[in-house]
């Protein structure tokens, strides 16, 4: 550790900060501190370069330290730092929405701003209920999610989420769940697995159980992310879309991770050729520089809600102080410029086959029981230690950090999602570090 870094660590009093989704006592006893970042790399407080295998938290898609974004935010803050978005507007929020609409899946071009993925999810769920109410079907309030889903931490998001630790302690909304799509027949499948599309039919069972007329929406991540990277079985999303159409249920894609190029297309909806009625986004929308999210609504949903009601009445009683924050919009516009100018979605698509090859090359490493990938996402599933689930996963996180790579772990599943600027050499380096750690 160089002197400056040592000094920083010595000076840091860690007691006041209650850290999110962290084993606080364990972390503070042996912290992993990141102090700066540039391009594909973080720098730790002991002066080491650490390859970013996770784009931060699946969000820094254009890589770190983008000066164009910083300049745009600085300029915006000195021009118009903040303005309300309730019954008032400011131009950059409209400009950014128009730009987002240009890359949206077909017809999903009505944009509602929020500040995070969790807020995007709760907003989309409310929109679904508001849509049905506007059409005279106010009894459609049941929300359907999927096992192992992560939809953030709002009460709506945990209700449709499928991760037990996030749910079990809290009161939940009226919800139900379809099964997750992991199927042992698909172990080590490359890209989209062959088996399991029939699990979409679980929705038919819920329709039979509850009645379609009580169900407002189904929400899924097109590729389950935080639950352990589960690419959908071939044909699964198409089947879900068809069942929703049959029963008048809205389909919501949670693209908080898959949005903004992760699969090599702007959104997963375009990658899979399946268009939802609502789409939630966040993270890569500003390259994670300023917190922001957006719900992309279809004209069908937007027009039903905004087109109804009395003249002059607020149509949707929802919004946040920081919806369409000027600094976030400026960051977002500059981010879209970078994605476009540098062809980063195309780079993700070009790197994806190398990524697949490199990670599946770890198949023979000890304790590896499955490897999954799609676009620039991947998971390496490890066998749990007997009687100690998640212990091997946590150790993998610690060891990869020591070896110079960030990973996410979901139990014993090591998850990866590098910035879209990654090159072939860095793909190789990710695999090399993982092999050493495994």
Q: Under the rule (CB under 6 A), what is the footprint of ligand PLP?
A: 116-118, 121, 150-152, 221, 225-226, 254, 256-257, 282
Nearest approach in angstroms of CB 149 to ligand PLP is 8
Identity of the residue, 45 or 147, whose beta carbon is nearer to ligand PLP in the bound complex: 147
**Cα angle at 264 between 234 and 39, to 5 degrees?**
140
Residues 315 and 393: their CA atoms lie apart, in Å, by 47
Identity of the residue, 151 or 372, whose beta carbon is nearer to ligand PLP in the bound complex: 151
Specify whether the CB–CB gap between 349 and 361 falls below 8 A: no
Nearest approach in angstroms of CB 385 to ligand PLP is 26
Nearest approach in angstroms of CB 43 to ligand PLP is 24
Q: Is 189 helix (H, G, I), strand (E, B) or coil?
A: coil
Nearest approach in angstroms of CB 287 to ligand PLP is 14
Identity of the residue, 58 or 96, whose beta carbon is nearer to ligand PLP in the bound complex: 58
- Residue 412 is classified by DSSP as T
**Cα angle at 215 between 320 and 315, to 5 degrees?**
35
Nearest approach in angstroms of CB 58 to ligand PLP is 6
Nearest approach in angstroms of CB 220 to ligand PLP is 9
- Residue 220 is classified by DSSP as E
Residues 51 and 49: their CA atoms lie apart, in Å, by 7
Beta-carbon contacts of 292 under 8 Å, excluding residues fewer than 6 positions away, are: 113, 114, 115, 116, 282, 285, 286, 325, 328, 329, 331, 332
Identity of the residue, 308 or 319, whose beta carbon is nearer to ligand PLP in the bound complex: 319
Identity of the residue, 225 or 332, whose beta carbon is nearer to ligand PLP in the bound complex: 225
Nearest approach in angstroms of CB 163 to ligand PLP is 11
Q: What is the DSSP string of 104-125?
A: SSTT--EEEEESSHHHHHHHHH
Nearest approach in angstroms of CB 151 to ligand PLP is 5
Identity of the residue, 217 or 438, whose beta carbon is nearer to ligand PLP in the bound complex: 217
1 half-sphere exposure, CB direction, 13 A CA radius: 14
Identity of the residue, 90 or 267, whose beta carbon is nearer to ligand PLP in the bound complex: 267
Burial class of 204 by CB neighbour count within 10 A (0 to 12, 13 to 18, 19+): middle
Identity of the residue, 116 or 123, whose beta carbon is nearer to ligand PLP in the bound complex: 116
31: number of Cβ within 10 Å: 13
């Amino acid at each position: 550790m160089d002197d400056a870094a040592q000094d920083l660590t010595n000076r840091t009093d860690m007691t006041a900060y209650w850290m999110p989704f962290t084993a606080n006592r364990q972390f503070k006893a042996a912290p992993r501190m990141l102090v700066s970042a540039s391009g594909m790399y973080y720098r730790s407080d002991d002066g080491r370069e650490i390859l970013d295998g996770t784009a931060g938290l699946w969000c820094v898609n254009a890589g770190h330290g983008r000066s164009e974004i910083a300049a745009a935010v600085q300029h915006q803050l000195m021009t118009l730092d903040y303005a309300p978005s309730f019954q008032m507007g400011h131009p950059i929020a409209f400009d950014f929405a128009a730009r987002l609409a240009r890359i949206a899946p077909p017809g999903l071009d009505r944009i509602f701003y929020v500040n995070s993925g969790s807020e995007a999810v709760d907003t989309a769920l409310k929109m679904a209920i508001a849509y049905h109410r506007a059409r005279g079907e106010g009894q459609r309030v049941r929300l359907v999610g999927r096992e192992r889903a992560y939809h953030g931490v709002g009460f709506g998001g945990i209700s449709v989420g499928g991760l037990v630790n996030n749910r079990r302690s809290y009161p939940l909304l009226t919800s139900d769940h379809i099964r997750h799509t992991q199927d042992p027949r698909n172990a080590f499948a490359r890209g989209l697995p062959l088996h399991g599309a029939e699990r979409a039919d679980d929705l038919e069972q819920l329709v039979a159980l509850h009645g379609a007329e009580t169900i407002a929406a189904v929400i899924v991540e097109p590729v389950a992310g935080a639950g352990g990277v589960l690419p959908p079985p071939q044909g699964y999303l198409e089947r879900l879309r068809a069942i929703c159409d049959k029963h008048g249920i809205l389909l919501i894609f949670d693209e908080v991770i898959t949005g903004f190029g992760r699969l090599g297309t702007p959104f997963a909806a375009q990658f899979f050729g399946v268009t939802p009625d609502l789409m939630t986004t966040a993270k890569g929308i500003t390259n994670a520089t300023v917190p922001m999210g957006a719900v992309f609504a279809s004209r069908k949903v937007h027009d039903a809600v905004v087109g109804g009601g009395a003249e002059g009445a607020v149509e949707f009683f929802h919004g946040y102080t920081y919806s369409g924050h000027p600094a976030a919009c400026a960051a977002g516009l500059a981010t879209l410029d970078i994605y476009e100018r540098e062809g980063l979605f195309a780079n993700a698509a070009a790197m994806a086959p190398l990524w697949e090859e490199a990670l599946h090359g770890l198949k023979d490493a000890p304790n590896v029981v499955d490897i999954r990938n799609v676009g620039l996402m991947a998971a390496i599933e490890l066998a749990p230690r007997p009687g100690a689930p998640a212990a091997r996963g946590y150790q993998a996180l610690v060891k990869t950090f020591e070896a110079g790579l960030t990973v996410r772990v979901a139990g014993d599943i090591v998850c990866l999602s590098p910035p879209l600027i990654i090159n072939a050499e860095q793909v190789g380096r990710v695999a090399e570090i993982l092999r050493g750690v495994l």
